[in-house]
């Protein structure tokens, strides 16, 4: 029995998120002000006022979601809600590890800043795209990607049963999309992204991020965090460091992570951050898993978990 903090990744952002946390909580104001100093740009203004096109840029999106998610999680902890474990989808893994006390807010934001800038850079160096594959099993999707030999295309996110995201070179992804439809996919939808995330095209970002990850102090986490790369709980600082280094070029095993979490006795998950993406995925993974979300100060104050 227990509760898991689940932190969202890129694409959950929305203009105005976290404004109530900034205006009505001391911790929120403190963290947002610290974030402006670390970012070297007025990230508060971008988050609170947009425009949306600017907030959607990878170098701003990732820090923005991290900032808001960590503030929400910290306020939940202050409010006496103690999770038994945590996990985060891609970028969300950094929020989860901050809430699990592997590193502090400032260290996490510095890492996310480098990660986001690295991924944006990798996207210009190695142009790529991603596509969501709906209604096809994981193995078939993976096999079709593996069998394609005229370019790089891989399965990047195993999100839920019948929902996989592929990633790779633009021409390779475009070539594989009709093959997936022919194999029985209900839909194959190209995503509006700035690069081929969780694929070998992210090597430049991995190199930039690895350098920083190897230079900072990471602590053993206070609660297990289910790693994207392995879908297994980790708490050892060296394993955490390695999982973050490996994460950029490898698939997010979200479906497996949630299934394993449930098997390990978790019966309630809370999406800590903006949007409802993870709540939607949880319904597709296992409807018996009790899932809720918290993205405002009012929801934090009124959060009731029995």
Question: Residues with catalytic annotation?
Answer: 90, 198
**Residue 190 burial by Cβ neighbours in a 10 Å radius (0-12, 13-18, 19+):** middle
Tokens 């840029």, located at residue: 57
- 8-state DSSP, 221: P
User: What are phi and psi for residue 128, nearest 5 degrees?
Assistant: -155, 180
Check whether the bond before 228 is cis (ω within 30° of 0).
no
Which helix (H) or strand (E) is 121 found in, with range?
helix 105-125
Q: What beta strand segments (E) does 119-267 contain?
A: 128-134, 153-160, 163-169, 187-190, 225-226, 233-234
Helix (H/G/I), strand (E/B), else coil: 7: strand
DSSP string, 244-273: HHHHTTS-B-HHHHHHHHHHTT--EEEEES
């Amino acid at each position: 029995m227990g509760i898991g903090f689940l932190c969202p990744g890129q694409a959950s952002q929305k203009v105005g998120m976290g404004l109530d946390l900034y205006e009505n909580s001391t911790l929120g104001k403190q963290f947002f002000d610290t974030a402006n100093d670390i970012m070297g740009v007025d990230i508060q203004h971008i988050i609170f006022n947009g425009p949306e096109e600017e907030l959607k840029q990878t170098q701003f999106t990732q820090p923005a979601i991290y900032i808001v998610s960590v503030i929400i999680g910290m306020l939940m902890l202050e409010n006496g809600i103690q999770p038994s474990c945590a996990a985060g989808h891609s970028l969300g893994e950094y929020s989860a590890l901050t809430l699990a006390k592997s590193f502090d807010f400032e260290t996490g934001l510095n890492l996310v800043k480098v990660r986001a800038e690295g991924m944006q850079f990798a996207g210009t160096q190695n142009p790529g795209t991603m596509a969501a594959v709906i209604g096809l099993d994981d193995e078939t999707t993976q096999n079709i990607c593996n069998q394609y030999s005229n370019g790089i295309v891989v399965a990047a996110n195993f999100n839920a049963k019948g929902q996989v995201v592929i990633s790779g070179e633009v021409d390779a992804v475009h070539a594989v999309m009709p093959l997936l439809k022919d194999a029985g996919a209900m839909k194959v939808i190209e995503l509006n992204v700035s690069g081929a995330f969780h694929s070998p095209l992210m090597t430049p970002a991995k190199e930039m991020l690895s350098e920083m990850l190897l230079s900072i102090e990471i602590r053993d986490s206070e609660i297990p965090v289910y790693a994207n790369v392995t879908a297994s709980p980790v708490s050892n600082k060296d394993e955490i460091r390695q999982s973050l280094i490996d994460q950029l070029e490898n698939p997010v095993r979200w479906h497996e992570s949630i299934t394993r979490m449930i098997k390990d006795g978790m019966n309630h998950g809370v999406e800590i951050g903006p949007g409802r993406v993870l709540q939607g995925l949880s319904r597709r993974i296992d409807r018996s898993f009790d899932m809720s979300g918290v993205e405002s100060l009012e929801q934090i104050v009124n959060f009731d978990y029995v």
